[in-house]
Amino acid sequence: MSNRQGCVTRRGLCLVLAAPSGAGKTSLSRALLQDDPDLALSVSVTTRPPRHGERDSEHYFFASSTEFAAMVARGEFLEHADVFGQCYGTLRTPVLTRLQAGQDVLFDIDWQGFRQLRRALPKDVVGVFIRPPSLAALRERLSARRDAETEIERRMSQAVSEWSHQGEFDFIIENTDFDTALGDLQAVLRASRLATLRQTGLDSIPR
């Protein structure tokens, strides 16, 4: 919803969280959403099949490769990418509707998606890179999940690539302690909401 201070209202923002797999991004996202009713998760379109317990339009919008390609051709996505052989994309209309209503939108996308989203909405996007304390710590976390060794190696290789793009983001949060990282993330969101460029009606002085 719009935040009002006298005659001032606020346009919503896009909060992008990117991280190597295993850095704790999903847990941080869930905690942030649970504590903040003015933040909504962007639901992506994907060509991958639903996993157990996933519901269409709640976890993802599931589409065939043909349907996805047609949506790309019609310009329906703010960003889209091929990730490990499956396509993912962010629908343009739902995001713009929320931003105009003053609602903030949380994105769980990689650095490629972040680049595209920032090009599409340069004044609306805040990027946060979540990183583990080290690659060794990341490997320990992936091993604790009991992933297959081949999967761990693939994700470690991908992590190095992801990590190399951390400098493109507005903020970097090291997830060594979960509560501290969550507090840092909440502080980023609060400060970003107060940015002058997101306020409208600044010419009006409340009386």
Distances (CA, A) of 206 to 7, 8, 39, 200: 6, 9, 27, 13
Amino acid 207: pLDDT: 66
Residues 150-169: what's their mean pLDDT?
Answer: 87
Angle in degrees, CA 175, 79, 155, rounded to 5: 40
pLDDT of residue 66: 96
pLDDT at site 139: 84
Residues 21-78 have pLDDT tens digits of 888 899 999 999 998 999 999 999 999 999 988 998 888 999 999 999 999 999 999 9
Q: What proportion of the chain, given as a percentage, has pLDDT over 90?
A: 62
Model pLDDT, residue 3: 47
Look up the pTM and report it.
Answer: 0.86
| Cα 96 versus chain centre, distance | 15
173-196 pLDDT per residue, tens: 999 999 999 999 999 999 999 999
Give me the pLDDT at residue 18, please: 94
